[in-house]
Amino acid sequence: NFYKTLSGAAIGDVLTSIIATAAEANVNLFEYLTDLQRNREQVKADPGQWLPWVYAKRVAEAKAQ
């Protein structure tokens, strides 16, 4: 058993979901997770703007400019 507590298992479930969703959105996982941490106050204030597919669109638009 990898997780020793229910809390640890819940955290693992959330991280697995975020990673899988980001992969489906073709997001660079390292950059995405780093940006989530660097911008944690904005993420807390408006989490919908930080969903992987929204993030991917924002990154693509920034690269196109």
Tell me whether residue 1 is in a domain: no
Tell me whether residue 23 is in a domain: yes
Number of domains in the chain: 1
Can you give the pLDDT at residue 3?
A: 74
Tell me whether residue 52 is in a domain: yes
SS3 2: coil
Can you give the pLDDT at residue 1?
A: 54
Alpha-carbon gap, residue 13 to 6, rounded angstroms: 10
Q: Range of 35's domain?
A: 6-64
Can you give the pLDDT at residue 2?
A: 64
Burial of 49-60, coded b for 16+ CB within 10 Å and e otherwise, reads ebebeebbeeee
Per-residue pLDDT tens digits of the chain, which is 65 residues long: 567 889 889 999 999 999 999 999 999 999 999 999 999 999 999 999 999 999 999 999 999 99
* pTM higher than 0.95: no
